Structure 1
């Protein structure tokens, strides 16, 4: 005997939206896009988004602040700004949020801290490479490490002037050579 399974009733736009928001915070744009991909009508999507905003579950300003603060210790202002733009936040909201969470001095200190940590890591890698393959001794240690650290910092979005200023700082390489 073959048991037929009952098909599930289609989910409403509100159920899909709340389900999506229960997994992670989203911007208005992200949730709207998700609902469009699920095939809901634009009028139904707008009603759901308005309702969620009134209930306080969808707030781009709160999202921007939370997102910016969570990325503060790991990414540069430029990188966070680009990520927020990709998530559909308005340029005015992005700028306002970043003004309240990022400062140049703090971003420089963060860049310096990452450079110190990565200098140690790359120094250990250089030693391992030198031991495993003696032919790799042609590139001077400091130059090799400096290039690796600079590349990582630039990939994180730090301004080039910060990167070169940090790498010119003697405490980055001197304090870490003894460890």
Structure 2
């Protein structure tokens, strides 16, 4: 029995979930004779609408966006090989919702104000690691009891 063609492999991967062009190229590389063969297959899939980086980005943000902030999503999409324009276009709507989104993530994880400055710092690091901006984090995480603003 012959192994599946490069196009069949690509279609199998795309049937499971959306893939970006760079990601699909990487997954097909071990099975291809040369890079030109991969490029031809991917061009054909893109022309037929089976492969679309914008659709991939939307899908990725939909799957991962409930737990992550814009900065982390931007980094992950960059790692997946998407262009800066595609990333900016995909993430633009999320930036306006970042405060509400950060609050929801914070409430799911912690749900109560920190008891001291160390706990507040831990909660803030949690949100920072998930890609929320420092400005939003300061607004979302309440001050610990007894903690005062420094002027």
TM-score between the two structures when normalised by the length of structure 1: 0.70
User: How far is 1:159 from its partner?
Assistant: 1.0
Aligned length: 145
Larger radius of gyration: 1
Aligned to 1:3: none
| Within-5 A mapping of 1:121-136 | none
User: How far is 1:71 from its partner?
Assistant: 3.2
Alignment partners' CA distance in 1, 2:41 and 2:113: 50
Aligned to 1:66: 59
Aligned to 1:143: 117
Greater fraction of residues in helix: 1
> Unaligned 5+ residue runs, structure 1?
1-7, 124-140, 174-179
| Within-5 A mapping of 1:9-24 | 9-24=2-17
Alignment partners' CA distance in 1, 2:109 and 2:28: 42
User: How far is 1:121 from its partner?
Assistant: 7.8
Q: Runs ≥4 in structure 1, deviation > 6 angstroms? A: none
Aligned to 2:149: none
User: How far is 1:26 from its partner?
Assistant: 0.5
Aligned to 2:139: 165
Distance change (3 Å), C-alpha of 1:58 and 1:168? same
TM-score between the two structures when normalised by the length of structure 2: 0.82
1:108-147 per-position Cα deviation (integer Å, ceiling 9, x unaligned): 1111222223223898xxxxxxxxxxxxxxxxx4334323
